[in-house]
Structures are given as structure tokens and as C-alpha cells.
Structure 1
Amino acid sequence: MLLPDVITIGATDPQAAHAFYKSVFLPTGVEHRDERVELDLHGVAQLAVCPSEALAAEANVEPKAPGYRGYVLTYIVDQPSEVRSILDAAAQHGASVLKPAKKAMFAGFSGVFQAPDGAVWKLASSEKKDTGPAQETPVPSEVGVLLGVADTKASTAFYQALGMTVDRDYGSKYIDFKPTSGGCRLGLMDGGMLAKDAGVKESGGAGFRAAAFERVAASRDEVDSLLAAVTPAGGHVAAAGAETSPGVYSGYFVDPDGFLWRATSA
């Protein structure tokens, strides 16, 4: 099943981005791999930061990216006070608050910020009021990726062709897929609606999004099978499967809306 195991963000200043996320999310583990830094978000998800130009070069795409990249990363915690504490930490370390922390009409309690690297994050809790003491270090119950797409039904068909199973379906407004243990939830939303929900005025456009969503496969054959299914489903392969570093086999593909994925096997 295709679900993002690792969210990789391309940044013009990877060290600054790494320092920002380390200060805001307080990861339980940090691993340095040359210019790439991987952060363990409390065992719930893996976040990586690398130079934008290096990511674009690996994927054979142009490195230019719009201010808003057309996707929103979600960080779900237990209580409203935890949403507030993370949002405050983000603002203190240079993020722009796009939507202050407050009760949401249909989604409990939430707030949105744009990190200095450009990525937009939505913090949310299903609870509208605290039910107990807040965790000193808020641990997410779920981390996800929301893609702003032109046609949710067409995008859903693409991801279903690559092996994903729909979980919640709200028609043209929102669709997501069943997550796996240790994987991020993937959701699709109309691009204009997602931008409005995030508090930005632009839809995100097309082109390089300064991010790659990575699927860690069990074998090289699984990587090749996944890449082989991309073009018939309506996407395109950006970089064919190859040994990108000793013992690591990977390839890149782009979905119909221009979002970049990496399939890799160690």
C-alpha cells in the first residue's frame, strides 16, 4: 500500500529548518545523513529535511517552488492546550501564524502556521476543551499530509490504482485513505478549499513543491512494481529506480497534481 512513511521537506537552509523542527516538535530521535537530517516525531512519523536543490536534482525536476506549496501537513494532538503550546513554540522560533489557535466549527480545536522553510502545518485536537493536564511534551496521535488537488475523484482513482484504500469519503470536498501502523495519513482536498482552510490566499500552483513523500518498500521489485503502475494511472515517473547510494534503491514519481513521491528500498 502506498502511504507516506517519511515526509521530506526541501529547504534553502536545511540546518535552520532542522533547528526549527527540533525546537518545535521536540523529536525523540535525530539522525544525520550527509546533508539530510531525519527526525523521529515520537514514533508516529518520520520527518526529514534536506536542501531543496538536492531534492530537485534527485527527482530530475526544477527546484523553484511557490510560497505556498499546495499541501498542508497535519499534527494531531490530544488537547487544545497542546495545540496552543506547539503554535506558540513555532511562532517563537520564526514561524508565521496563519490561523490562531481556536475552536473550529467541525474539527474541534486547531491552529495553522507556516514554517520558515515554507511548509504549512495544521495543529489540531478533536477536543474543544482540555480534559486533563497537558503533556509537557505533546505527542501526536497522528501526522498526516493533505494534498490540494484539482479533482478529488480523479486523484482518488490514481492513488487507488497504486494500492491505497479509501477510509473517509466526503465527495469532492475531502477524501482520505486508511493509514498503516507507523505511516502517515494521506488526504485529498479541493485545492482552493485547502488553501482557505490553511489561511492562505493562493492555491499553490504547479511545479516542484519542495517536498517528497516517501514510501519505504520491502524490496527492489516492489519499488519497480509501484513505479510501473504510475504512468497507466495518470502520473509520471520522474526518476527510474536505481541505486542512489550504497545499498539503497529508489525512484521518484509525480502524481497528476504535481506532488512528488519517492519509492525506496534499503
Structure 2
Amino acid sequence: MKPRLNIVTLGVKNLPESRLFYKNALGWEPAAGSDENIVFFNHGGIVLALYPLDRLAEDAEVPAERSGFSGVTLAINQDSKEAVKSVFEQAVKNGAKALVAPRETFWGGYDAYFADPDGHSWEIAWAPFWEFDEQGSLKL
């Protein structure tokens, strides 16, 4: 089997709080297999998982301490500038920290950044040249 990205797991400090944040801020419903120990969100072939930070660090055999920018951002692509604004406002309304307000980009698109309650950076972006398939996946 060819290697491909299947799951992105975010270490979180408070799993019930994070589950509620993603449900209320982005409208994502926990998928089958979610329980009080882990939460899965199905995104049409890629799964976002939430798992307690200390247990994730222990499993990966790395320290759980975090500081500053991790060098990773996660992106939500939208089909309009208005949708970028709407998602950003909904996230902030539900506890996200605004990092960059919606803006025109140097590359011809429109984006914004927020951090979830655990400090994970998310970009919401639109580009006039992007196309999406029937499942909402970005076509490259």
C-alpha cells in the first residue's frame, strides 16, 4: 500500500472541552469510534483525531511540554471570502484565539488564522483558482 496521510492527531489538554470546541466552532460531529478517550472527525478520507496531550506524548516517547509556534498549521479551505469570514467569526465566538483577521493575501487569495484552545494554528483560506470535488476535497 502506498503511504498516504490518513490521520492527523492533535494533543489536547481537555478532551471534552476540545470535542465541544470543534463541534460548536466548526460544526464537526464526532465519528464512529469516538469515546471518552479519543475523538475522531471524518473528513472524507482524512481523519482528525483529538487525544490527551500527555498520553500522546507518552505514546510518541517525547516530552509533553509545548512552547511557541510548532511549525505546523492546519488549513480549512472555503469557496468564498464570505465563508472564510464566517468560519473565522464562528471559531472566535466559540473560544478560538484570533491570530490574523481575514485579509487579502500576497498570493491572490483571502485567509485568516486562529488558534484552537490548545494553541494549534488553523488557517481558513479561499483562492479563486482552487477547485473542489463533489465531496468538498481540494483538487490539485
What CA distance in whole angstroms lies between the structure 2 residues aligned with 1:98 and 1:122?
9
Structure 2 equivalent of residue 35 of structure 1: 37
Deviation at 1:51, TM superposition (A): 0.2
Structure 2 equivalent of residue 55 of structure 1: 56
Structure 1: runs of 5 or more not aligned: 129-138, 143-178, 180-266
What CA distance in whole angstroms lies between the structure 2 residues aligned with 1:58 and 1:111?
33
Deviation at 1:65, TM superposition (A): 1.3
Structure 1 equivalent of residue 7 of structure 2: 6
Q: Which amino acid aligns with 2:103?
A: K
What CA distance in whole angstroms lies between the structure 1 residues aligned with 2:109 and 2:121?
19
What CA distance in whole angstroms lies between the structure 2 residues aligned with 1:16 and 1:28?
14
What CA distance in whole angstroms lies between the structure 2 residues aligned with 1:108 and 1:47?
25
What CA distance in whole angstroms lies between the structure 2 residues aligned with 1:34 and 1:116?
18
**TM-score normalised by length of structure 2:** 0.83
- Equivalent pair of 2:19/2:50 in contact (CA under 8 Å): yes
Deviation at 1:58, TM superposition (A): 1.1
Structure 1 equivalent of residue 70 of structure 2: 69
Is residue 2:110 matched to residue 1:141?
Answer: no
Is residue 2:95 matched to residue 1:91?
Answer: no
What CA distance in whole angstroms lies between the structure 1 residues aligned with 2:137 and 2:48?
15
Structure 2 equivalent of residue 256 of structure 1: none
What CA distance in whole angstroms lies between the structure 2 residues aligned with 1:141 and 1:85?
19
- Equivalent pair of 1:91/1:97 in contact (CA under 8 Å): yes
Describe the superposition over 1:134-188 as per-residue Cα deviations: whole angstroms up to 9, x where unpaired.
xxxxx8534xxxxxxxxxxxxxxxxxxxxxxxxxxxxxxxxxxxx8xxxxxxxxx
Secondary structure (helix, strand or coil) at the match of 2:21 reads helix
Secondary structure (helix, strand or coil) at the match of 2:17 reads helix
Q: Decide whether aligned partners of structure 1 residues 26 and 81 sit closer, same or farther in structure 2, where only a CA change above 3 A counts.
A: same
What CA distance in whole angstroms lies between the structure 2 residues aligned with 1:79 and 1:112?
16
1:210-221 matched pairs, under 5 angstroms: none
Describe the superposition over 1:74-97 as per-residue Cα deviations: whole angstroms up to 9, x where unpaired.
111111111111100110011111
**More strand by percentage:** 1
**TM-score normalised by length of structure 1:** 0.46
What CA distance in whole angstroms lies between the structure 2 residues aligned with 1:50 and 1:75?
20
Q: Decide whether aligned partners of structure 1 residues 141 and 54 sit closer, same or farther in structure 2, where only a CA change above 3 A counts.
A: same
Deviation at 1:34, TM superposition (A): 4.4
Q: Which amino acid aligns with 1:69?
A: S
What CA distance in whole angstroms lies between the structure 1 residues aligned with 2:13 and 2:29?
24
Deviation at 1:28, TM superposition (A): 5.1
Secondary structure (helix, strand or coil) at the match of 2:51 reads strand
What CA distance in whole angstroms lies between the structure 1 residues aligned with 2:30 and 2:16?
16
Deviation at 1:53, TM superposition (A): 0.7
Computed over aligned residues only, the root mean square deviation of the Cα atoms, in angstroms, reads: 2.3
Structure 2 equivalent of residue 216 of structure 1: none
